[in-house]
Structure formats: C-alpha cells, structure tokens
C-alpha cells in the first residue's frame, strides 16, 4: 500500500534526526519511494519553540496501518523522542498522514491525520510529492495551503 509519513524535528541536529529516522524506517517491509525537500517551518500550534525542519516521505508497505504507526513510534523512541509537552519541541516526530484510502477514527490512529489540511508544514512537502492528491475534504492539494510560514531549504 502507498502511504505518506510526515517527519519533523526542532531540537538538536535536525538534519541528523531526519536522516536517521528515514534510514531506520527503511527496510524490507517499508520501501521509501520518495523524499521531499526539507522545509524550515514556523512552529504550528504552540508558537514559543524553535523553528522546525519538516519533510514528507512516500512509502510502499505491506504493513497494516496500525503496524506502520507502531514502527513510526518505535523509531521515535529509538531516536530519543520524549513526549513532554503536547505540540511542544521534539528531537523527532513521525506522523502517519495518509494510508492508501483508509479512513480511521480510532483514538490510537486517525486517518487521514486530523490536522493535515491545517498544517502548511505538512501540505507543502506533501504537494511536492503528490501534486495530484485529493484530500479528505474532496479538495485538491493544489488548492489548500494550511497555516504557518514554510520555506524549502534548497530549490
């Protein structure tokens, strides 16, 4: 199945955490098909924290959605992620944004990710990888920009 993961870091060596997370995710069960540019992004939700670096990866996986979420959480743990403050600073955050056409409303896993259409830090890199994507609201990703300033680190 085709899925999109959103990665973010705003503590320590942000490039290192993003690279390590992608390497740790990749394997026989998760094939990384594409990686967006890194975007430097204004904090969303809780403003008083360092700038984030965000990117999105497209993966092909044989894992079920919950299994994929659990791998993401294991990689966060492996890279020293601590859950201190909701929406607060973190070494690495990995969100499951989209899993094929799956819609899930369980507390443990909401799909598509609940804030997808409000977060420019997710929409900009996602648009880069999937310009044809139609969002859960039925709108094309080309029409939705979300909130927050973002800019790619390279052209």
Ligand X SMILES: Nc1ncnc2c1ncn2[C@@H]1O[C@H](COP(=O)(O)OP(=O)(O)OP(=O)(O)O)[C@@H](O)[C@H]1O
Strands 110-111 and 30-35 come out as unpaired
Binding site for ligand PH2 (CB under 6 A): 8, 41-45, 52, 54, 87, 93, 121, 148
Catalytic residues: 81, 90, 93, 95
- Helix or strand (DSSP H, E) at 16: helix 14-25
Tell me which DSSP letter residue 124 carries. Answer: H
Q: In whole angstroms, how close is the CB of 155 to ligand X at the nearest point?
A: 28
Contact by Cβ (8 Å): 71, 57 = no
4 binds, among ligand PH2, ligand X, none (CB under 5 to 8 A by kind): none
Contact by Cβ (8 Å): 52, 121 = yes
123 binds, among ligand PH2, ligand X, none (CB under 5 to 8 A by kind): none
Binding region for ligand X (CB under 6 A): 69, 83, 86-87, 93, 95-96, 108-111, 113, 115
């Amino acid at each position: 199945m085709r899925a999109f993961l959103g990665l973010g870091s705003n503590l320590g060596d942000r490039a290192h955490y993003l690279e390590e997370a992608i390497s740790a995710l990749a394997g026989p069960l998760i094939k990384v098909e594409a990686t967006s540019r890194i975007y430097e992004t204004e904090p969303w939700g809780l403003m008083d924290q360092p700038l984030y670096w965000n990117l999105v990866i497209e993966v092909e996986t044989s894992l079920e959605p919950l299994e994929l979420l659990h791998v993401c959480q294991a990689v966060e743990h492996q890279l020293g992620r601590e859950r201190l403050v909701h929406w607060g600073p973190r070494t690495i955050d990995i969100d499951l944004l989209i899993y094929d056409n799956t819609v899930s409303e369980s507390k443990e896993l909401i799909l598509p990710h609940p804030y997808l259409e409000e977060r420019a830090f997710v929409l900009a890199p996602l648009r880069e990888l999937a310009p044809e994507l139609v969002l859960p609201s039925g709108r094309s990703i080309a029409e939705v920009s979300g909130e927050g300033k973002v800019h790619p680190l390279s052209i």
